[in-house]
Copies of this chain bind each other. A is one copy, B any other.
Amino acid sequence: MGVNLKQLAQALGISQTTVSRALNGFPEVSEKTRRKVLDMAQQLNYSPSPHAKKLATGKSKTIGHIVPQSDHMMINPLFSDFIAGAGETYSKAGYDMLMSIVPRELEEKTYYKLVASKRVDGMMVHAPLVGDTRIALLKKLNMPFVVHGRSADDDTTYSWLDVNNRRSFQRATRLLIDLGHRRIGLLNGIESMTFAQRRRMGYLETLEAHGIEAAPEIMFSEDMMEPYGYLRTRQMLSLADRPTAILCSSILPAMGSVRAIQEAGLETGRDISIVTHDDTLSFLANSGDIPMFTALRSSIKSAGKRCAEMLIEAIENPGMSPVHELWETELVLGNSTGPAPT
């Protein structure tokens, strides 16, 4: 079932060198020979051994993703869409995706090992933390990588693609304020991740700009899951001075919020407004003529695609200078917002 280079060369009566070059598109082989080689390769069902190739070239045509197997499971649903996007791009470009799921404490070591053993040509970094050590490590190891998100605002020393989370939450907050809301709850993601930090900044800045004081009892920072939204919303609704609007970091807690609101006999969009960031997860479509949620939309799958492109480019053009993309979200008006009740 298939032959190797040597056998192919033998069958053709030419040297391995020439065959190898013919197959890899080198210019120093005549078109006539190349045709013959290609034909014979087809006929004998030749397929090169990736292992041998990797050993000989030192390149692996593989991109690594390391996922910490943390309690922050919340990463998963976002993750799967990102992966879907990136994965499509990889296979189109002939790259494999190597995925490693390891306990948090082995994370750095795994980065090191993947790189040192040359098992990957590049790495994708997810969910950067505030003082993320992975970035420094990869830089030191001189391994191409792209970060989905970014560590510091002005970091131009590596490639990243990020959503303008700060601006996005400024706009959302502004929208609610314009609608008359002055008591606005926040269901943020975990703030050791930079995106959540920026969202909080956007929120706080805008409140302040309108002379509204931030209220700690209606600001939360947890894993972006459904039950989080439910429980915290219930908690907020029980306050004497309950919020009239809630800003959510993901559609999952937003759904939890809706559940709590309905359970309390209130109506979303009338009694309580909700604006949420929406990663347009494929299994939670917030669409339709009038979408369920007013949302700041940004496709995480597209982000995966673009990050993959950037990474492949960086791998194939070493020495290229870093690329940065800051995506703005799309603000779509849905059914979940309305003027503040008087």
Contact = CB atoms under 8 A, between A and B. Distances in A.
Nearest to A115: B1
B283 A47 contact: no
A74 B283 contact: yes
Contacts of A69: 84, 87-88
B226 A47 contact: no
Contacts of A133: none
Interface in A237-278: 252, 255, 258-259, 262
Contacts of A93: none
A320 interface: no
A225 B286 CA distance: 11
A6 interface: no
A284 B226 contact: yes
A102 B113 contact: no
* Oligomer copy total: 2
A255 B255 contact: yes
Contact of A285 (B81, B227, B262, B285): B227
A316 to B, nearest CB: 20
A2 B282 contact: no
Interface residues of A, number: 57
Given A69-B84, A100-B97, A285 B60 contact: no
Nearest to A89: B101
A97 B106 CA distance: 16
A83 interface: yes
Contacts of A225: 282-285
Nearest to A106: B91
Interface in A51-91: 51-52, 54-55, 60, 67, 69, 73-74, 76-77, 79-81, 83-84, 87-88, 90-91
A50 interface: yes
Contacts of A77: 76-77, 80, 281, 283
Interface stretch (A35-43, A116-124, A206-214, A326-334): A116-124
Interface in A270-326: 281-285, 287-288, 292
A282 B60 CA distance: 33
A98 B97 CA distance: 6
B101 A119 contact: no
Contacts of A100: 87, 91, 96-97
A84 B91 contact: no
A342 interface: no
Contacts of A113: 47
Given A97-B100, A227-B287, A252-B283, 19 more contacts: A49-B55, A50-B117, A51-B51, A51-B60, A51-B118, A51-B119, A67-B84, A67-B87, A76-B77, A77-B80, A80-B80, A83-B99, A88-B101, A88-B102, A96-B119, A224-B283, A225-B285, A226-B283, A259-B292
14 contacts: A50-B118, A51-B60, A52-B55, A55-B55, A69-B87, A69-B88, A74-B282, A80-B80, A90-B101, A91-B106, A96-B100, A225-B282, A227-B285, A259-B292
